[in-house]
Amino acid sequence: MLGSGVAGLSAAVRAASAEPGLRVGVLTKADLEQSATRWAQGGVAAVLGGDEDSTDLHLADTLAAGAGLCDADAVRVLVQEGPTRVNELIALGAVFDRDHEGRLLKAREGGHSMPRIVHAGGAATGAEIERALVEAVRANVSVVLEGWFALDLVVEDGRCRGVTACHSDGNRRTLRATHTLVATGGAGQVFAVTTNPTQATGDGVAMALRAGVPVADVEFMQFHPTALHHPAMPRPLLSEALRGHGALLRDAKGERFVDELQPRDVVSRAMTARMLDQDVDHLWLDATGLERFDERFPTIAASVREIGLDPSRDWLPIAPAAHYVSGGIVTDLDGASALPGLWACGEVACTGVHGANRLASNSLLEGMVFAPRVVEAILRGVDRPTPTGAMRAVHGDGGRRIERPTLPPCDGNADAVDARDRLQRAMTAGAGVLRSAESLDATMQVVENVAASCADPEVHNLATVAAALLVAAEVRQESRGAHTRTDFPDTSDDFLLRLVVQ
Ligand SMILES: Cc1cc2nc3c(=O)[nH]c(=O)nc-3n(C[C@H](O)[C@H](O)[C@H](O)COP(=O)(O)OP(=O)(O)OC[C@H]3O[C@@H](n4cnc5c(N)ncnc54)[C@H](O)[C@@H]3O)c2cc1C
């Protein structure tokens, strides 16, 4: 397993307890506890027993957010298997918030037609999930390699046979495995303004692209509308749950301008347009009407109080930030990639669940649902992908293939911090919430320049993912979901398909 977020750890826990036993190892580039999962706030969307809600409604909300590009079978797997996985996590020891009678508390978030988001510690859901899974992995998995950076896939005779990796002390190794599961998370660090932690550099997608493994939907980078506007990077997130509980969005003149419960892409676009109109770099979230803010949202209260704001009195400065990449390594419904021996799950994967835009709180759920499916498929002896889920697009069903961009060879030794900064700023300016052919082209020139001038492997991964995103965003001459082209503002039926970079 590569990665120690909800996806990698869920797979490791399932594999370690499987009969007959599998020999399992977890490799991760920082400490086991470090991941985007740890930062997840709002919670997990799942229809749990006794709800008025139904899985059909959860399915319908997910399909609506995905703007025509979700794979309905993948979404059905997500919503039907999700509740069992949440209950298993509770059985493992994760403590979710409950009312006085012991019933799980449920919040409503943007794009959800019912309150169905279960959460922990107010808005510290990811930390609690990570705690429970890390504890289980430390107790049950014998090989845990921390501080090891996976560099590339080992491909021999048309099969993935493990990875090459290097340690922070300079040590390099080839780690061989019969099955390799990539669960390396997202790529928010491709942008200058992001909610993602420093590890989210798209390494898994970059490794896949170098090995010729198909990747899709990478143009759909979701921007979270309400990141705290503050020099801290990653930007502290003001969870959607605040808007679910009645917090209001206000422009520079203090006026409301959008329905706060619209999906993220709609809100981010409305905010970006208003910021351009009013020539400001942030707007406001007014949570002054929320009662018991500190008690209900202790993590958020701590971040805003740290910068001297009192949420009961002050409006909170906000701006959209890169948050979640809906695409990734194309998989079938069991998490199999197109390369035998290589599997993917969690944010790094494109299962087809999110389409053009992820519904809030469906991503922790996706990791929890698809990770055990990988293990079960391996135990059943499955060794090849089937044309199901997003993998259908690779077989020409609802997909269009586009060439993987080739980056120029590296002949420089530019400082990695500067190079990363140049790339991130160019991506935010030219390939952020609003894009055009002109801005994408200018951004590609910066990305090529960075790739040619800096040999650092993480920077190179950022450039590889950025180039794939730019090419797909250029080809997709329409606006859909999280992808908005100012020169093609309408949705077009010609693009009711997945762009597969290969
Ligand atoms: C601030 C914030 C709030 C969020 N809130 C929610 C929410 O409320 N609900 C929800 O559903 N989702 C939320 N999300 C999204 C969600 O947290 C992520 O999509 C999800 O946790 C991804 O899990 P993962 O296991 O795929 O990846 P991650 O949790 O990112 O884990 C990836 C792991 O891979 C490791 N890794 C990466 N590259 C390498 C490499 N080259 N070699 C070795 N190891 C590597 C990393 O160190 C890390 O351990 C939020 C995200 C953020 C950033």
Nearest CA to ligand 1 atom 41: 150
Taking residues 246-264, report their average pLDDT: 93
Share above pLDDT 90 across residues of the chain, in percent, rounded to a whole number: 85
What's the whole-number mean pLDDT along residues 444-458? Answer: 97
Residue linked to tokens 């190079």: 419
Spacing, Cα 445 to ligand 1 middle (Å): 29
Q: CA 56, CA 54: separation in Å to the nearest integer? A: 5
Work out the average pLDDT over 412-428: 95
Does 100 fall in a domain?
yes
Residue 119 lies in a domain: yes
- pLDDT confidence of residue 240: 80
What is the chain's mean pLDDT, rounded?
Answer: 94
Which atom belonging to ligand 1 lies closest to the Cα atom of 186? 30
What percentage of the chain exceeds 70 in pLDDT?
Answer: 99
Candidate from 86, 242, 364, 368 with most ligand 1 atoms within 8 A of CB, to mutate: 364
- Quote the distance between the C-alpha of residue 195 and its chain's center: 11
Measure 450 CA to ligand 1 centroid, in angstroms. 25
> What would the pLDDT profile of 286-304 be if each residue is shown by its tens digit?
999 999 999 988 888 998 9
Mean pLDDT comparison of 261-265, 395-399, 471-475, highest-scoring range: 471-475
Per-residue pLDDT of 2-59, as tens digits, reads 999 999 999 999 999 987 778 999 999 999 999 999 999 889 999 997 677 899 999 9
Instruction: Please report the atom of ligand 1 found closest to the CA of residue 240.
Output: 8
Question: What pLDDT digit, counting tens, does each position of 110-166 carry?
Answer: 789 999 999 999 888 999 999 999 999 999 998 999 999 999 999 999 999 999 999
- Which residues 6+ apart lie within 8 Å of 307 measured at CB? 228, 230
* Residue of minimum CA distance from atom 10 in ligand 1: 361
Dihedral (Cα; 182, 183, 187, 189), 10-degree rounding: -110
Pocket test for ligand 1, best of 9, 28, 134 (most atoms within 8 A of CB): 28
Write out the residue range of the structural domain in which residue 130 sits.
Answer: 6-220+324-395
| Least reliable range by pLDDT among 92-106, 224-238, 387-401, 442-456 | 224-238
**Cβ 136 under 6 angstroms from ligand 1:** no
Mean pLDDT of 372-376: 97
pLDDT at 193: 86
Strand partners, 165: 150, 173
CB-ligand 1 contact for 55 (6 Å cutoff): no
Question: Which region, left, alpha or beta, applies to residue 279 given φ > 0 means left and ψ of -120 to 50 means alpha?
Answer: left
264, 392, 435, 480: which one is catalytic? 264
Query: How far, in Å, from the CA of 274 to the mean position of ligand 1?
Result: 30
Confidence of residue 168 (pLDDT cuts 50, 70, 90): confident
Instruction: Judge whether 47 lies within some domain.
Output: yes
Domain assignment of residue 229, yes or no: no
| Residue 434 belongs to a domain | no
Whether ligand 1 lies within 6 angstroms of the CB of 28 is answered as yes
Q: Is 264 a catalytic residue?
A: yes
Between CA 82 and CA 132 the distance in angstroms is: 17
Ligand 1 atom, smallest distance to 461 CA: 41
**Cα–Cα distance, 391 to 385 (Å, whole number):** 8
Q: Is the CB of 185 under 6 A from ligand 1?
A: yes
Question: Taking Cα atoms as reference points, which of 340, 350, 341, 344 lies closest to residue 391?
Answer: 350
Q: Residue 19 is encoded by which pair of tokens?
A: 């009969």
DSSP 41-63: -S-EE---TT-S--HHHHHHHHH
- Domain tally, the chain: 1
Does 458 fall in a domain?
A: no
Q: Is 190 part of any domain?
A: yes
3-class secondary structure, 110:
coil
pLDDT at 315: 96
Is 442 a member of any domain? no
Atom 51 of ligand 1: nearest residue by CA position: 40
- Which of 1, 39, 297 for a ligand 1 pocket mutation test, highest count of atoms within 8 Å of Cβ? 39
Locate the ligand 1 atom nearest the alpha carbon of residue 3 and give its number: 34
For residue range 75-88, what is the model confidence (pLDDT) as tens digits?
A: 999 999 999 999 99
Q: Tell whether ligand 1 has an atom less than 6 A from the beta carbon of residue 8.
A: yes
Q: What pLDDT shows up at residue 356?
A: 96
**Amino acid present at 43:** G
Answer whether 293's CB lies under 8 Å from 312's CB: yes
CATH number, residue 352: 3.50.50.60
Distance from residue 268's CA to the centre of ligand 1 (Å): 21
Q: Is 184 in the pocket of ligand 1 (CB under 6 A)?
A: yes
What whole-number distance in Å separates Cα of residue 104 and Cα of residue 97? Answer: 6
pLDDT score at 233: 62
Are the C-beta atoms of residues 96 and 90 closer than 8 Å to each other? yes
Cis peptide before 298 (omega within 30 of 0): no
CA distance 252 to 240: 20
